[in-house]
Amino acid sequence: MVKTLAPCLVAVALGSLGSVANAQDNHLTVYTYDAFAADWGPGPALKAGFEARCDCTIDFVAADSSIGALRRAQLEGEDTEADIILGLDTATMGEGIESGLFVEHGLDYPELDLPMDWADPVFAPVDYGYFAFVYDTEALDTPPASFQDLVALPEDFRIVIQDPRASTPGLGLVLWIKAVYGEEAAAYWEELAPYILTVTGGWSESYDLFLAGEADMVLSYTTSPAYHVIAEDETRYQAARFEEGHYTQIEVAGILGSSPDIDLARAFLDYLMTPEAQATLPETNWMYPIVEPEGGLNPGFDAMIDPDPALLLDADTVAANTRAWIDEAFAALR
Amino acid sequence: MRRLSGYTIAGLVAALIAALLAALWVAGQSFATRSGAGPDIAHLLRMSSAQAGLSTILSLLTGFILAWSLDRLRFPGRALVVGMLSSALVLPSLVVVAGLIAVWGRAGWINALLDHLGTSIGSSVFGLEGIVLAHVILNGAFAARIMLDRLEAIPPEKLRLGRALGLGPVRRLAILDLPALASTIPGVGATIFLLCFTSFAIVLVLGGGPGNQTLEVAIYEAVRLDFDLGAAVRLSLVQLVVCALIIVPATTLAPAATLFGRRTLLHWPESRPVARLQLVLLVVLLAGFLAPLLAVLVRGLDNAILDLWDLPGFWRAGATSLWVGIASAALCLALAIGLGMARALVSRTRPAHLALGIPVFTYLAVPAVVLSLGFFLLARQTGLSTGAAAPVVLVIANALLSLPFAFATLAPALEAITSRHGRLIRALGLSGPSQWRMLEWPLLARPMGYAAALAFVFSLGDLGVISLFGTESFSTLPWLMFRALGAYRTNDAEAIAALLLILSVTAFLVIPRLFERLAHVRD
């Protein structure tokens, strides 16, 4: 408590010195994707929690996607209202760095509960999950257990995926297949193409198609079934465990260099990594917490598949090759 | 005076579009682009044109058959059917796509029926077939509604004469119906072609993948995914040029509308065998049109629409939707009438006639993502916060969006009034306001009511403009629906979709009556 309060007090002091003209200081604006800021998302609880411990106000501004939030800040340039962009992930961090908008946060990380070491100086983790194909146990007895199984299924088996340029799970699949198949990825996409019903712009359209019974499996998260179990008491939806492993997505937040109150922004990122803040994330954002949350993780998550081995490609390699890998996948789909 | 206001509106719309594109172009200069190969424009044009051409022809054809049958047949619930016809066009495409999939999809009604016969159409709704089917459902209904309006406007004396002469179904069609329809076909056809050519959400969801694309989708990708604003402006200009190639001939070649009047109460049905044929055609087509909408209703009501009452933000979003809808309907009517009046006064051969018709379509030709981004940049450059600009932008954008439809409804009517009553107006020396009060308003009330309903519902269903300006505090019903869909809340989304459909149909039933009633009071 003392540890997180101190930067707040410093921020208050610096803020009052830094800008006399702006009486409305001690205010943070966080650009994020819509589901995060929504009334039913983590936004409201995090706002209440953070405002209770700092003498400040914080507002979440929703863009249609995390990339949309980044684009908006890019367009606004130096005079953007945003202090923090939250929601970029391990695959799009490179885009963020390339924009030149972010500064190093200077945080000391607590003991993190992530499948890999995390030491990024610019982006702090918020929560994480693994990509997986979700299926309906009432419609499918034996789900595929590997990428090889998937392309050996009957011809009328249909999966629905998302556009890698518009949606983070869509990009996740491109990276997942790359991590598993490497040089053979293009050949695998050729084999996969006939099974793809459609490529939607966003995750929601594809998940809706799946729930409506139009597709046998949808590209989503290993934790998607937790939503159905906890919020709907429905156990029919499960994630298919692939023996090659599951690709990891870590959602991150970063501070913009243009922020007038970088210390307050840092305090918020620090708050996000507290057990209190982490306790709101699993059941509002349906992702895993990065530290043991207050009150533990809802047992509804216990039944989630073990993603081992958790896959993650090196961030620099991803940033340098994303476009080529997307083109490679699309060549097979055209 | 009337001419001046028309030219002012046309000039303002053109200036606005130019400013939006310029804002985007300027912003594009300040960002490094790292675009890949870029889209194959020739390929995109070929694909889009073929798809849009096919969709347009089929839409006009089904629209004609529907209108022809509905004009001759009387049955209980006919008004409701006519009301529902117009709603498909203006619903958020996502809703229509969902309804379409619920009927034609792998787990849909058709396959459930076919299953009993031991066969299946599988997932054939995805791909080009699905895109065209969706477009025909949306636009065929619109064409039917406009054509039905024209057929019902045939003066009763003509019908009486035709009946006395004993015209058969074919000659009646050729002598009475086709001339009445001719003035609408170029405008309606061009509008439908542009809608399909620039189709977005339908192509994204039903297209099946990167194989099926339109320029509009490519522009969206350039902006949102590659952040190549320069490329977006270049692609937009290509799209503008192609659309101009459609619009210019359509506006110049359209024959002048001559027939106009209040709804004919005279009912002249066809002979029994023809009426039977019409009934069969009507039932089959209506089943095709209405089944997806019914599916939306069934899915939404199934999931307890009452739960919405407690959904956070529902009431606020509903109120925003309503006032934005009313404001943009009013603005749209004013623009359409202003342009239409000025154009009715200009000889059809003069370039000014074309100049007054083109601004109507620009909004169809300019990609939504470019427009919303342009508005966003303009708002910033003029120092407005995006929060303050959002409602204004939403109203203007939605009014412009429905302008082509309102114009297609009102312009032929205004032209017909001027050509039929011009001499009378001059002889009586009527002033502008009294000309409006005594002549135009009573005659126009019905199409105005329809145009108002169209504009209102268009705005009610908008998901394109709001997606860049919507936030958790500024939300409309479709935006709330889209957000619910993104948070596993499919039930809420389906309930909102059903509610939107109910509101749309109600608007189409109530608003035209309201206008007619208002005009009637003055008689």
Question: Is residue B39 a part of any domain in this protein?
Answer: no
The residue-averaged pLDDT of B396-419 equals 81
**Residues 6 or more apart from A302 whose CB is under 8 A from it?**
none
Are residues A321 and A227 part of one domain?
A: yes
Out of A9-23, B54-68, B167-181, B462-476, which region has the weakest mean confidence (pLDDT)? A9-23
Whether B317 contacts chain A with CB within 8 A: no
**Given an 8 Å threshold on Cβ–Cβ distance, is A34 in contact with B486?**
yes
Instruction: Pick from A160, A204, A206, A326 the residue to mutate for testing the B interface (most B CBs within 10 Å).
Output: A204
Give percent helix, percent strand, percent coil of chain A, each to the nearest 5.
45, 20, 35
**Residues of A with Cβ-Cβ distance to B493 under 8 angstroms:** 208
Q: What is the 3-state secondary structure (H, E, C) of B103-116?
A: HHCCCCHHHHHHHH
The residue-averaged pLDDT of B394-415 equals 82
Amino acid letter, A232: E
Question: Is residue A8 a part of any domain in this protein?
Answer: yes
Are residues A149 and A122 part of one domain?
A: no
Question: Is residue A189 a part of any domain in this protein?
Answer: yes
**Residues of B with Cβ-Cβ distance to A39 under 8 angstroms:** 312-313, 472
Question: Is residue A19 a part of any domain in this protein?
Answer: yes
Mean pLDDT estimate for chain A: 87
* Residue B112 CB neighbour total at 10 angstroms: 11
pLDDT in tens, B230-286: 888 888 888 888 888 887 777 776 655 555 555 556 777 877 888 888 899 888 888
pLDDT in tens, A153-197: 998 899 999 988 878 899 999 999 999 999 999 999 999 999 999
Question: Is residue A232 a part of any domain in this protein?
Answer: yes
pLDDT in tens, B474-484: 788 888 887 77
- State residue B17's pLDDT score: 81
Whether B1 contacts chain A with CB within 8 A: no
pLDDT in tens, B189-243: 888 888 888 887 788 778 777 777 778 878 877 777 677 788 888 888 888 888 8
Mean pLDDT estimate for chain B: 80
Within 227-286 of A, beta carbons closer than 8 Å to B belong to 227-228, 231, 286
d(CA B247, CA B194): 9
ipTM over 0.85: no
- State residue B304's pLDDT score: 63
Report the predicted TM-score, pTM, of the whole model to 2 decimal places: 0.79
Are residues A121 and A137 part of one domain?
A: no
Q: By residue range, what is the domain housing residue A277?
A: 2-128+249-301
CATH number at B227 reads 1.10.3720.10
- State residue B346's pLDDT score: 75
Whether A126 contacts chain B with CB within 8 A: no
d(CA A85, CA A66): 8
Residues B72 and B440: beta-carbon distance below 8 Å:
no
Q: Which of B106, B225, B485 sits opposite A204 (nearest CB)?
A: B485
Are residues A218 and A140 part of one domain?
A: yes
Q: Looking at CA atoms only, how far is residue A240 from chain B in angstroms? A: 19
pLDDT in tens, A35-94: 898 888 899 999 999 999 988 999 998 887 888 889 888 888 888 889 999 999 999 998
**Residues of B with Cβ-Cβ distance to A43 under 8 angstroms:** 472
Q: At residue B102, does pLDDT exceed 60?
A: yes
Sole residue written with tokens 């889009």: B48
Question: Is residue A306 a part of any domain in this protein?
Answer: no
Are residues A231 and A114 part of one domain?
A: no
Question: B32 or B407: which carries more pLDDT confidence?
Answer: B407
Question: Is residue A227 a part of any domain in this protein?
Answer: yes
Are residues A183 and A91 part of one domain?
A: no
Percent of chain B with pLDDT over 70: 89
Q: At residue A225, does pLDDT exceed 90?
A: yes
Question: A133 or B339: which carries more pLDDT confidence?
Answer: A133
Question: Is residue A46 a part of any domain in this protein?
Answer: yes
**Residues 6 or more apart from B410 whose CB is under 8 A from it?**
B336, B337, B340, B444, B447, B448, B451
- State residue A2's pLDDT score: 33
Question: Is residue B177 a part of any domain in this protein?
Answer: yes
**Given an 8 Å threshold on Cβ–Cβ distance, is B205 in contact with A201?**
yes
**Given an 8 Å threshold on Cβ–Cβ distance, is B122 in contact with A156?**
yes
Q: Looking at CA atoms only, how far is residue B209 from chain A in angstroms? A: 5
Question: Is residue B41 a part of any domain in this protein?
Answer: no
Consecutive H or E run containing A103: strand A102-103
**Given an 8 Å threshold on Cβ–Cβ distance, is A286 in contact with B208?**
no
Are residues A235 and A159 part of one domain?
A: yes
**Given an 8 Å threshold on Cβ–Cβ distance, is B36 in contact with A327?**
yes
**Residues of B with Cβ-Cβ distance to A214 under 8 angstroms:** 101, 105-107, 123
Question: Is residue B40 a part of any domain in this protein?
Answer: no
Are residues A6 and A81 part of one domain?
A: yes
- State residue B308's pLDDT score: 73
**Given an 8 Å threshold on Cβ–Cβ distance, is A62 in contact with B36?**
no
Q: How many domains does chain A have?
A: 2
Are residues A283 and A166 part of one domain?
A: no
Q: How many domains does chain B have?
A: 1
Per-residue confidence at B33, pLDDT binned at 50, 70, 90?
low
Per-residue confidence at A14, pLDDT binned at 50, 70, 90?
very low
Q: At residue A145, does pLDDT exceed 60?
A: yes
Q: By residue range, what is the domain housing residue B300?
A: 2-34+46-521
Question: Is residue B324 a part of any domain in this protein?
Answer: yes
Q: At residue A7, does pLDDT exceed 50?
A: no
Are residues A259 and A120 part of one domain?
A: yes
Residues A298 and A233: beta-carbon distance below 8 Å:
no
Are residues A48 and A30 part of one domain?
A: yes
Whether A39 contacts chain B with CB within 8 A: yes
Are residues A282 and A188 part of one domain?
A: no
Return the closest-CA partner of residue A311 out of A218, A220, A231, A249.
A249
**Given an 8 Å threshold on Cβ–Cβ distance, is A74 in contact with B224?**
no
- The CA-CA-CA angle for residues B226, B229, B234, to 5°, reads 110
- State residue A196's pLDDT score: 92
- State residue A249's pLDDT score: 95
- Cβ pairs A/B, distance under 8 A: 119
d(CA A243, CA A221): 16
Whether A213 contacts chain B with CB within 8 A: yes
Whether A78 contacts chain B with CB within 8 A: no
Q: Which of A62, A166, A224 sits opposite B471 (nearest CB)?
A: A62
Q: Which of B101, B313, B376 sits opposite A209 (nearest CB)?
A: B101
Whether A62 contacts chain B with CB within 8 A: yes
Question: Is residue B338 a part of any domain in this protein?
Answer: yes
Instruction: Pick from B204, B372, B496 the residue to mutate for testing the A interface (most A CBs within 10 Å).
Output: B204
**Given an 8 Å threshold on Cβ–Cβ distance, is B468 in contact with A64?**
yes
The residue-averaged pLDDT of B97-122 equals 84
CATH number at A36 reads 3.40.190.10
